[in-house]
Structure 1
Amino acid sequence: MSYGPRRRTRLLQLAAGASLLLAMTGCSGGLAGGGGGGGDDGDGPISFGMLAPFSGSESAFGAYMQNGAQLAVDELNADGGVLGRELELVVEDDACDATTAVAGANKLVTEGITASVGGYCSGATLPTLPIFDEAGIPMVIPAANSNELVQGLPGVFLINGTGTQQAAAAVQYAEEIGATTVAAIDDATSYSADLAASFVEQAGDAGLEIAFEETVTPGENDYSAVATELASVQPDLVYWTGYYQEGGLIVRQATDAGYTGAFLVGDGSVDAKFAEIAGPGYTDNVVATFTQTPDMIEGADQWIADYSELAGEAPGPYSTQAYDAVRVMAQAIEDAGSTDFDAVVAGLEGLEGFDTFAGPLTFTDDHTLSGGGFVIVSIDPATNAFVLKDDLQG
């Protein structure tokens, strides 16, 4: 492959949530001032907006996403731009926080972006959906993947596998290792709760026994209660669907309490800091559901070199998805021959087999991928990095 350029109830809930957050942040743009059909009639740069975490515990992912997106913008501009116009990337911090994300979304709308190519944390991305929709701004979301994101808004598209697809990969892995009893632990955020619920449902359908389900509070240091429960019940596999800060602590504390089963974690925990938090010797039985990173993809050496030259460091998780989000949006605009919202949405819906890191892209009717592309990764004890373990194709 070439890596160069080339319904209703839920909507009301989203709008209500966004309105509440607008009141909290004091923003006056977005829903109130966004305006109608989207697009522009100018001949200046076409602006793509990106909300991502550039502060807080998930800030490393924001940098990966920005650099991946900027690489795509640079390549497209070197190839003549889109509709004969240059692209520019405008970024705002969402800190993986709903209130911050709403403020950032309104700022991007005020700055006149044509399209959105951001979104990492589902809980922060959800309240921005009605803001961009009201302003007539289509969205290609590169990382956030809660099923709640695709509940009927016409301009929302996901290029990361959904929670349902990730949960299916988790169940497949549980069956592959012969697990008969499983547990699920989430942190109550939209992404985590959605993934855990889907895993429990699909595991039950597959005939696996659900040993227990638990929800913890993120940001704490003591998870001894759930650790003790794991050690007592001893499920064959436990699926942690939250983020790496809490995940590393739970693994360490549960192991100390005597749990000996397999730890499976979701893609929000895939970071080298997971092993740092858990500590040496605590991650031998930890694997994760994840989409492939550049180092796992055959033929991506030149892309990695180009990214590294731009960013001054190697690419990390979601750099490729952000890169592809820009390319997908740009191709839809080019195909549409316009930046008009309806025309771009039609262009996105009309993509067939578009070349991406995850494979040929064609959107389903609900604007998700036809296949999630999830694999199983494990932790390299020498580097603490997650590396490919099982492509789930066997």
Structure 2
Amino acid sequence: MSARKLIAALGACTVLATGCGGSAPMGVAGAAAERDQGPVKIAALHPVSGSNAVDGQQMRRGAQMAVDAINAAGGIRSLGGRKVELITGDSQGKADIGQSEAQRLISAGAVGLVGTYQSAVSTNVSVVAERNRVPFVMDVTASDTIFSHGYKYSFRVQPGSKAIATAAARYLKQVSEQAGKPVRKVAFLHEQSDFGSGAAEAFTAAAKQLGIEVGPNISYDATTVSDLTAQVTQVKASGADVLAVAGYYRDSLLAAKAIASVKPDLNAVWGVSNGAYDQPKFVTDAGELGADYFSTNYHYDATNPETVALRERYQRTYGDPMRTGAVLSYDAVQVIAQAVEKAASTDPRKVRDAIAASEVPPLTVGNGPISFAANGDNENAFPVLMQIQDGQVKQVFPAEKAESRPEYQVAWRP
């Protein structure tokens, strides 16, 4: 269904108050009443069940930590110190459920939404937000298509798929040449939704402009795949010296296991918007299988003392390393809360205008404050290259963001 048709369908759904696949909305008056009294409600919508539940739970916790910090600092001062409350939804990783959950949260009085981790879910939620005129600040959503529709209520904190993929191609050329092993040919393995396909297309276009051959381009269904040995065998036969991988956590771990089994003759495994290769959990789960893997992606700012303190607090509270997605959720909640503060209002339209004009210091890597271009994209979002070195994920390129130097030839190369 096109975005325009989906908006129309949701409009009919709201008028009839039938819910269209989820809870029936309370209506405009009911939602406004919910916003005008009690705590200021910010909604977090993530997949806290299903195959991406670990990331979804992390992101919900990151959002809650932002709310806790705001309340500890006095709440929304311009509204007399009103506290902030996080109301939550579970997309289950499904676009239709994310759509109905977004409507439910808006009807419950949310002044804004953050989410959703998956581009397919965010695509539907952005239409719900536009129809209801409630701002939606995406923490993790790679797809750029959402930002081509002229929406006024959709914003994104992370860099988009094209920005990450273009940087990944540029970083690969620079790092490989600095190592004295210029990349010749890249095989691209990716999950088949808009996220993975968009990353592959953008990377291929950027690489070709840099004189890098790309192929074969191999896709798979991340929701059903159980083994990627056949796909990696195809990579081995291609003669590629680098394998780029764009996938979610579970399938990217499967790719690492297949690479270790098939042993293609590669100089590097190069994550592009990858959901695993910059995660501490992957370092633990993959062990030596993932040694020296690279990943170009958004990342928490390891050089920012505030980010370091937040991640230490998360570790103490939950006994688990805080992933970048959770830090992005923290940033996204701060964007909405600071907009409410600036607008001195819970009217979502006024909050939207304040978001559009906002400048919020990020805890993720950036080239300045979170500041949104006319299409809703964070114009200061900045992809960074990371590598797993000595059992830790390190920022390695470009030099001004680096904790250590990149080590280009992987340890397991035959």
- TM interval, shorter chain, is 0.7 to 0.9
Residue 394 of structure 2 is aligned to residue 387 of structure 1: yes
Contact 1:119 1:125 in 2 (8 A): yes
Of 89, 106, 123 in structure 2, the residue corresponding to residue 109 of structure 1 is 106
The aligned counterpart of 2:240 is 235
Of 271, 289, 300 in structure 1, the residue corresponding to residue 307 of structure 2 is 300
The aligned counterpart of 1:182 is 186
Contact 2:242 2:269 in 1 (8 A): yes
Specify every segment of 5 or more residues in structure 2 that has no aligned partner in the other structure, as ranges. 177-181, 403-414
In structure 2, relative to structure 1, the CA distance for the partners of 1:275 and 1:314 (3 Å cut) is closer
Equivalent residues in 2 for 1:44-63, closer than 5 Å: 44-63=38-57
CA deviation digits over 1:264-295, x for unaligned, max 9? 12332243454566x54422342111222365
Q: What is the aligned residue count?
A: 380
Contact 1:39 1:338 in 2 (8 A): no
Contact 2:42 2:113 in 1 (8 A): yes
Of 318, 321, 334 in structure 1, the residue corresponding to residue 341 of structure 2 is 334
TM-score norm. by structure 1 comes to: 0.86
Deviates more, 1:115-124 or 1:13-22: 13-22
Specify every segment of 5 or more residues in structure 1 that has no aligned partner in the other structure, as ranges. 1-8
Q: CA deviation at 1:367?
A: 1.2
Q: CA deviation at 1:312?
A: 4.8
Of 7, 12, 15 in structure 2, the residue corresponding to residue 15 of structure 1 is 7
Q: Quick one: distance in 1 between partners of 2:145 and 2:29? A: 24
SS in 2 for 1:268: coil
Superposition RMSD in Å: 3.0
The aligned counterpart of 2:274 is 267
TM-score norm. by structure 2 comes to: 0.82
Residue 89 of structure 2 is aligned to residue 92 of structure 1: yes
Structure of greater relative contact order (alpha carbons < 8 Å, 6+ residues apart): 1
Q: Quick one: distance in 2 between partners of 1:37 and 1:361? A: 32
SS in 1 for 2:92: coil
SS in 2 for 1:117: strand
In structure 2, relative to structure 1, the CA distance for the partners of 1:228 and 1:21 (3 Å cut) is farther
Contact 2:31 2:108 in 1 (8 A): no
Q: Write out the 4+ residue segments of structure 1 that deviate beyond 4 Å after TM superposition.
A: 16-25, 36-41
In structure 2, relative to structure 1, the CA distance for the partners of 1:34 and 1:11 (3 Å cut) is farther
Deviates more, 1:309-318 or 1:16-25: 16-25
CA deviation digits over 1:330-350, x for unaligned, max 9? 111222222223322221111
Q: Quick one: distance in 2 between partners of 1:274 and 1:50? A: 25
Of 46, 55, 68 in structure 1, the residue corresponding to residue 62 of structure 2 is 68
Q: Quick one: distance in 1 between partners of 2:347 and 2:96? A: 28
In structure 2, relative to structure 1, the CA distance for the partners of 1:123 and 1:392 (3 Å cut) is farther
The aligned counterpart of 2:361 is 355
SS in 2 for 1:112: coil
CA deviation digits over 1:112-131, x for unaligned, max 9? 21110221111122112222
The aligned counterpart of 1:5 is none
Q: Quick one: distance in 2 between partners of 1:73 and 1:348? A: 17
The aligned counterpart of 1:167 is 165
Contact 1:195 1:241 in 2 (8 A): yes
Residue 230 of structure 2 is aligned to residue 225 of structure 1: yes
Deviates more, 1:9-18 or 1:57-66: 9-18
Residue 224 of structure 2 is aligned to residue 215 of structure 1: no
Contact 2:60 2:329 in 1 (8 A): yes
Contact 1:14 1:129 in 2 (8 A): no
Residue 354 of structure 2 is aligned to residue 318 of structure 1: no
Paired letter, 1:45: P
Q: CA deviation at 1:47?
A: 0.5
Q: What percentage of residue pairs aligned between the two structures are identical?
A: 24
